[in-house]
Amino acid sequence: MLTSIILLPFLAALVILFTPRNYRVVFRGVALLATLGSLLVATKMFLGYEAAEAGVGGYKFIEKAAWVPSLGINYFVGVDGINVGLIFMGAIVAFAAACVSWEIKTNEKLYYLLLMVMTGGILGAFASLDLFFFYAFHEFALIPTFIMIGLWGRGENKNYATFNITLYLSAGALIALVGLIGLYLQVPAAQRTFDIVALTDYFRANPMAANVQHFIFPLLMFGFGILVSLWPFHTWAPLGYGAAPTATAMLHAGVLKKFGLYGLIRIALPLMPEGAKDWLNVLALLCLGNILYCGWVAMRQRDLNQLIGNSSVAHMGFVFLGIASLNLIGVTGAVVVMIAHGLLAALTFALSGYIRTQTNTLNMDEMGGLLRKLPFIGAALVMAMMAGCGLPGFANFVGELSVMFGAWKASFGHAKWFVVAAAWGGLVIGAIYMLRAVRSVLHGELSDKWNSVEDAVLWRKTPFVLLLAALLAFGFWPRLLTDKIKPSAEAIVKMATSGKAVALESVKR
């Protein structure tokens, strides 16, 4: 099942590669069919996942095949409560991204080929339980991002944004790679493996030396953090998303950016508990930069994409805060925010992309009154902005509230003040810039130059309806997610908070 989800986009890329350049309808049709197929299988997997039925290491739907046995590299995929929702969310966003790609009119063969490789890499990265494939799939998704912004990007700063995002994300990936290699080398040569389940079992029985944890954990924290736009290493994100094609921004901001957060939860926290305890205080402090500083920057934006980009970075602060809380409700909330934000970021960038194709601008000062001409797109934008404010009924509310409850109970210093600051940044500052955007874009006088603007026709409404439906479903029935996440999050939190106890037991034995 998991292999089908991952393989369909890669097979679509191969079909596109060998299709003549003038068969434009084929490129789009193959991309839509492949992402729809992945979505249908991912839906079946998500609905069929029950934590109680999980097998080896708490994972289900496991598939494993030897790749390079001499180095301990295996194709190994599986899901638990942490990644089953992320894969499902990624499949939804991928299909939505393929749907909105109608805006691309030049060199479509290369565009759809890169889009399919990016999609396969994203889904593979979240499904992989082997460190080699975990990292390799991420690179499969990351490299097309740079190319797509460079070739189909928009705006005067397109080239600068391309170089900026390339340098930042390459540096982050390299730092994370050094940390992962360091982790791999901590296992005796005879037992070395890239198998995440085997590594978890090994370090549970043989805790890593504290001084080594203090060295490797910050490499992973800052390496993965740069990939997620941790403040102050965040400036690539708004620029990159503002210049990116709509589908690229949807996939990267919505899904691929969660790779770093997933790596922290899956690898760094459970395998290096002593390192986590020392560095999570720093993470909690830096995440306030995301929530507050990026929120203030978003308030000053007059470009809709720059506002959404800075808002996206601000919301990542809640995930970092949930991870830093190092308790069950906080980590569970962090995973919910990851899924909710993935859907929301994809929705907002899809809406801004539609508005741009109709108006040829994203300058909010030039807009106004568009709700009269775009009743469906306008209503969807209002709902998206309300979700971004943390309005009850949307999945974002559930995740952010859980994170704040978790942070309130956290053991790091002045935790309650962190919650107050996060609530101020997320609820008050967020509401100001979101509601201001709604007023500027949709309300007020309608200029005559927008008389030719047209609302989305039936089939173009599909991606927006799908993303909104998922946000509302998880908002009204959060147990669809939390019941799946809780057992896996509990196991990770238990490992991350019992490092000393495990170490003492090991010494006694």
* pLDDT reading at 507 higher than 70: no
CB 313 within 8 A of CB 237: yes
pLDDT at position 413 is: 63
Q: What average pLDDT does this structure show over 355-378? A: 89
pLDDT at 345: 93
| C-alpha distance from residue 77 to each of 64, 335, 340 (Å) | 7, 19, 23
pLDDT tens across 84-141, in order?
999 999 999 999 999 999 888 888 899 999 999 999 999 999 999 999 999 999 999 9
HSE-CB at 21 with a 13 A cutoff on CA atoms is: 4
Q: Give the pLDDT confidence of 334-350 residue by residue, as tens digits.
A: 999 999 999 999 999 99
181 closest CA partner among 140, 211, 125, 219: 219
Tokens of 345: 């970021």
Q: Mind listing the pLDDT tens digit for each residue in 323-332?
A: 888 889 999 9
Q: In whole numbers, what is the pLDDT of the chain averaged over residues?
A: 87
- How confident is the model at residue 55, as a pLDDT? 64
Query: pLDDT at residue 506 above 60?
Result: no
Instruction: Give the Cα separation of 149 and 249 in Å (integer).
Output: 9
**Stated pTM of the model:** 0.91
Helix, strand or coil, per DSSP, at residue 211? helix
Tokens describing residue 199: 């590594």
Helices (H) and strands (E) in the chain, counts: 24, 2
pLDDT greater at residue 22 or residue 99: 99
Distances (CA, A) of 104 to 97, 98, 158, 373: 12, 11, 16, 23
DSSP code string of 117-155 = HHHHHHHHHHHB-BHHHHHHHHHHHHHHHHHHHHHH--S
What is the C-alpha separation between 324 and 265, in angstroms, rounded?
A: 10
Which range of 386-400, 410-424, 495-509 scores highest in mean pLDDT? It is 386-400
Residue type (1 letter), 338: M
Average pLDDT over every residue of 29-37: 94
The Cα–Cα gap between 404 and 427 comes to 12
pLDDT, tens digit (0-9, with 9 covering 90-100), for 167-226: 898 999 999 999 999 888 888 887 888 888 888 888 888 888 888 888 898 999 999 999
Confidence at residue 380, expressed as pLDDT on a 0 to 100 scale: 94
In sequence order, the 6+-apart residues with CB closer than 8 A to the CB of 448 are none
Instruction: Name the residue with higher pLDDT: 45 or 426.
Output: 45
